[in-house]
Amino acid sequence: MDRFEVIKGDITKQNVDAIVNAANHSLLGGGGVDGAIHRAAGPQLLGECKKLNGCRTGEAKITKGYKLPAKWVIHTVGPVWRGGNREEDTLLGACYRNSLELAVRNGGIKTVAFPSISTGAYLFPVDRAAGIAVQEIIRFLEINASIEKVLMVCFDDQTYRVYQEAAINLTRPQ
């Protein structure tokens, strides 16, 4: 699957049509990747987010990217890890699927970059999250031709290694 790639880097620096933000229900900013995206985009991003009425876990909303190289930001809310029996897996999968569906619906978005949703402040185990993320993205790309490239942008070495491994295991020809 050459339309999917795992890279190490900072998502705010990616030259893609849309980057995905691992936000919270309020969509009013926070720490981690959310804080970095708001800082890089500038205060106009918060202004637009205030009009969105928040976002439910597993769902996604779109804004412009303002000062970011990316034209669009897709905000999604990952599940907080509560032991694994609170539909965390389903909700995390929905974040990836709904973000990509929104990208397609918005029209003109051909390249999308994701961070590792829920594996920071929300404490979702990285190996489990990586399997779900890679599976959802690959499945989506196989049935949707309009998205040309999806990048998984990992911020640290450990996260990068885990997603690389998941990509190798899930994209190997059967």
* Between 43 and 108, CB nearer to ligand AR6: 43
* 156 is an active site residue: no
Bridge partner list, 61: 75
Cα separation, 157 vs 147, in Å, equals: 27
Cα separation, 102 vs 20, in Å, equals: 11
Q: Which residues bind ligand AR6 (CB under 6 A)?
A: 10-12, 22-24, 30-34, 36, 78, 115-122, 153, 155-156, 159
Q: What does the radius of gyration of the chain's CA atoms come to, in whole angstroms?
A: 15
- CB-side neighbour CA atoms (13 Å) of 155: 14
Catalytic entry in 34, 127, 156, 157:
34
**DSSP-derived 3-state class of residue 145:** coil
Least distance in angstroms from the C-beta of 16 to ligand AR6:
12
**DSSP-derived 3-state class of residue 98:** helix
Q: Which two tokens mark 137? A: 């993205």
Cα separation, 165 vs 161, in Å, equals: 6
Least distance in angstroms from the C-beta of 77 to ligand AR6:
8
* Between 28 and 138, CB nearer to ligand AR6: 28
* Between 145 and 166, CB nearer to ligand AR6: 166
* Between 142 and 156, CB nearer to ligand AR6: 156
Least distance in angstroms from the C-beta of 19 to ligand AR6:
9
Phi, psi of 47 (to 5 degrees): -55, -45
Active site residues: 34
